[in-house]
Amino acid sequence: MKLITTILTVLAAHLMYGVTAQEIYINDRLERLWETKPGLRTPESALFDPSEKLIYISNINEKSWEKDNNGFITRHNVDGDILNYEWVEEMSAPKGMGLLQGKLYVTNIDEVVEIDVSSAKITQRYKHPKAIHLNDIAIGADGRVFISDSKGDYLFEIFNGVMDILYQSDAGPTNGLFYETGRLLCGQANRVAALDLTTKTMTTYIDSTGAVDGLEGIGDSTYLISDWSGRVHLIQQGQPRLLLLDTTPKEINAADIEFDPYDRILYVPTFFNNSVVAYKLK
């Protein structure tokens, strides 16, 4: 009888694990608010515009690194409703975005396009011969536009109308970027590195992060990172990372996340799941 009870207990545990493994994990610090309606096409990045209270979403439209000219930018309100579906079209796998003085900067494989927000027109294209797979964008306080390359070893900047090399890293490619006063935080292989923008020196700031796709600061030297496969962690120097969200059991990605610091809303583009999900961070 004891043996049968033990076997049943083990079977119950396996069955329970099987159910649990298929569930999406949401930490108590997150509250799911809404998800966009069907229609997005491989959304890679979200960008919150606090002045207009809207969200820009870059739609790759299937192929991540192909110059197919079918990518586009969508604009949603902060409730997830579409304002302009194909607000700007004819792009190729658009990804990271940044706003500066009425211009939206978007990575477009091996170039950065500048969009005039008021006219919804592409007004400039920035190129550099060393650019390979440009990915994320961060805006500096002095008007510099910082760009990562997830295939090459270079970080780039656009300043005074010129795109140039900012830094060559010996630690490999960079994906997510986040600007803080005097430094640029860079998501690399299993770490967040800090690039001092005055001395042009790079050091490890937070290690053992796992993969870093999106990188956002939330204050008090605390950050959110996504790993594309479907996880979002909260990280802090000298502390173990905290899992906030895990959608990998459902094969739902977590691409280049965005954080609204005013209302503490986390926006998660789900890439192949073709939506953006909003969460309240408590």
pLDDT at residue 271 in the model: 98
Position 76 in a domain: yes
Query: What's 239's domain CATH number?
Result: 2.120.10.30
Both tokens of 251, joined, read 């094969």
In a domain, residue 171? The reply is: yes
* Least confident interval from 3-17, 99-113, 239-253: 3-17
Q: Is the pLDDT of residue 256 over 70?
A: yes
Residue 49 lies in a domain: yes
> For residue range 170-197, what is the model confidence (pLDDT) as tens digits?
889 999 999 999 999 999 999 999 999 9
Mean pLDDT of the chain: 92
Tell me whether residue 206 is in a domain.
Answer: yes
Into how many domains does the chain fold? 1
So what's the pLDDT on residue 22?
73
Is the separation of the CB atoms in 92 and 44 below 8 Å?
A: no
Q: What is the pLDDT of residue 21?
A: 52
The answer to whether residue 3 is domain-embedded is no
Convert the pLDDT of each residue in 226-242 to its tens digit: 999 999 999 999 999 99
Domain of 255, in residue numbers: 25-281
Q: How far is CA 42 from CA 55, 156, 232, 254, in A?
A: 16, 25, 18, 11
* Best CA proximity match to 185, nearest among 214, 159, 227: 214
Q: Per residue in 210-221, pLDDT tens?
A: 999 999 999 999
The vertex-228 CA angle with 256 and 146, nearest 5°, equals 35
Per-residue model confidence as pLDDT tens digits over 10-69: 333 333 333 345 799 999 999 999 999 999 999 999 999 999 999 999 999 999 999 999
**Reported pTM:** 0.91
- Provide the β-strand partners of residue 269: 276
- List of E strands, 173-227: 177-180, 183-188, 191-196, 201-207, 215-219, 222-226
Is 4 part of any domain?
no
- In a 10 Å sphere around its CB, with 0-12 CB exposed, 13-18 middle and 19+ buried, how is residue 102 labelled? exposed
Instruction: Give the residue-averaged pLDDT of 153-166.
Output: 97
- Span 125-154, average pLDDT: 97
Return the pLDDT at 164: 98
The secondary structure of residue 266, as a DSSP letter, is E
The model's confidence at residue 7, banded by pLDDT at 50, 70 and 90, is very low
**Contact between residue 124 and residue 114 where contact means Cβ atoms under 8 Å apart:** yes
User: What local confidence, expressed as pLDDT, does residue 166 receive?
Assistant: 98
Query: What is the mean pLDDT of the segment spanning 258-281?
Result: 98
Is it the case that residue 8 has pLDDT exceeding 80? no
Number of Cβ within 10 Å of residue 227's Cβ equals: 22
